[in-house]
Amino acid sequence: MSSSSPPISNGRFEIGLNDGTLAMCGVAILLFTAVVWTSHSPNVERTDFSLTYVGAEIVHHGMGHDLYDSALQQQVRDSLFKHPVPLFFEHPAFEALLLSPLARYSFRTSYLIWGLMNATIWLCSVFALRNYLHWPGETLAYVMLWLVFAPLWVALYQGQSSVLLLAGYALTFMFLKRGRNLSAGIALGFGLFKFQFILPFALIFLLRRQWRFLAGFAITALGLALISIAGVGWKGVVGYARFLSAIGNNPQNISYGSGVDMPTIHGFVFAVVGRKITGTELNFIVGAICLVLLVWIAMRWSPDGQNPSFDLMFAAAVTASLLSGFHMFTHDFSPLILAMLVAAGQISPGLNSRAVPWIRAAIWMPLIVFWTFPIYFFFVKWHCLYLMCPVLLLFTIGTVGMAKNTKSTTANLAAVTG
């Protein structure tokens, strides 16, 4: 066996009376119970899903052309909730239109339906990805790592769409591994409800001239654009552009999500020097850093599922795409579980033993941080979640370094055996 091979594992769940199946059943019961319990909680109206419900309510009642009118959102929000959160619905219009049928039901019922859907997608992701994630070798340990990954719980509780974003990345990963680039691009496109993360990822493929992948991505993007126009009209589209501009130019505004609270490159730069430079200068610096990061990854990655370093470079690309997003909260870390399980599988005992110590440390340290869930709550409480940005940058650099090591090891082995 080569030093870069994954640990021995059957790579799939064995349905039957075993630890893996029992663990999945236990997790399913826990997730569904948590959703039902939260839907009856007095604080449920202060979850992020309340913003999604406001958007769905506006479109459902035929006011889609004014969806991004902050005064209208505030009026609808205040009429629905006694103690509303001071934020606005800022996702693309197609999301509001597709979820508008939920506005036919009460808020709590809609939250319950949406939460059960998210819990189901979470479980399906655990099951489907096991075919590709062979670490840890014990299925019970694999399931437990998913269970204690805090961002997924935050996404489930808040009624956020980050679990769907994880599913989009997961489908993209699986299709690329099978060599189905067109399908992979189509799958990635469905994550455009959080386009700030998806577009940087697609840019890497553009830089690598992966035209078949981009064709699939364009198909989905065009379909969702048409749905958005149908839901809010051109007036709503223009209003959304202005709304996004207001968010980008006011990173300190808590109604748009305070920039200091965001673990992105934008959030980190703003926290460090944002008050000493203009908004234009801030955006230029952040844009330049993000572009350099994405170009660097594109230059070192051939998106070929059969390439020995593919898994690691995919993990680095996911992490870089999250870092490049201008708007991210704790629940948006959810796709990192895919990236981190991939990376962990390459630095587990016996694998890539020739990797220099700093590379292994650069991967292990962020893994420890992200599975130490109290850190999230402390950082949020202290308004310093931006400190997670250097942690993610360290992980990205270490993962790319490990990918280079994997390529070298495979090439040397081929030369010896050849």
20-44 per-position pLDDT tens digit: 889 999 999 999 999 999 999 989 9
- Burial tier of 209 (Cβ tally within 10 Å: 0-12, 13-18, 19+): exposed
pLDDT of residue 77: 93
Spatial distance between the Cα atoms of 87 and 8, rounded to a whole number of angstroms: 48
Location of structure tokens 């599922």: 305
pTM for the whole thing?
Answer: 0.91
Number of structural domains (the chain) is 1
- Burial tier of 307 (Cβ tally within 10 Å: 0-12, 13-18, 19+): middle
- pLDDT score of 415 more than 50: no
pLDDT of residue 260: 63
- Burial tier of 140 (Cβ tally within 10 Å: 0-12, 13-18, 19+): middle
* Residue 210: its H or E element: none
Average of pLDDT values for 236-246? 88
pLDDT in tens, 43-76: 999 999 999 999 999 999 999 999 999 899 999 9
Considering the domain boundaries, does residue 209 fall inside one?
Answer: yes
pLDDT tier at 252, thresholds 50, 70, 90? low
Query: How much is the mean pLDDT over the chain?
Result: 87
- pLDDT score of 414 more than 50: no
pLDDT over 90, % of the chain: 65
Higher pLDDT, 206 or 18: 206
CA angle 224, 117, 99 (to 5 degrees): 40
- pLDDT score of 160 more than 70: yes
pLDDT of residue 287: 95
Whether the CA torsion 10, 342, 352, 142 is positive or negative: it is negative
Considering the domain boundaries, does residue 125 fall inside one?
Answer: no
Considering the domain boundaries, does residue 392 fall inside one?
Answer: yes
Domain extent, residue 190, equals 148-417
pLDDT in tens, 330-388: 899 999 999 999 998 887 655 555 567 888 889 999 999 999 878 877 887 888 889 99
Task: Evaluate whether 108 touches 44 at the Cβ level (below 8 Å).
Answer: yes
Considering the domain boundaries, does residue 353 fall inside one?
Answer: yes
Q: Which residues contact 263 (CB under 8 A, 6 or more apart)?
A: 328, 333, 385, 386, 387, 388, 389, 392
Considering the domain boundaries, does residue 4 fall inside one?
Answer: no
pLDDT of residue 28: 97
Spatial distance between the Cα atoms of 195 and 201, rounded to a whole number of angstroms: 10
Considering the domain boundaries, does residue 21 fall inside one?
Answer: no
Considering the domain boundaries, does residue 62 fall inside one?
Answer: no
Task: Evaluate whether 216 touches 118 at the Cβ level (below 8 Å).
Answer: no
From residue 289, how far is each of 158, 192, 319, 325 by CA, in Å?
31, 22, 14, 12
pLDDT of residue 135: 85
pLDDT over 70, % of the chain: 87
DSSP 52-73: HHHHHHHHHTT-GGGTT-HHHH
Task: Evaluate whether 394 touches 317 at the Cβ level (below 8 Å).
Answer: no
Considering the domain boundaries, does residue 136 fall inside one?
Answer: no
Average of pLDDT values for 237-258? 73
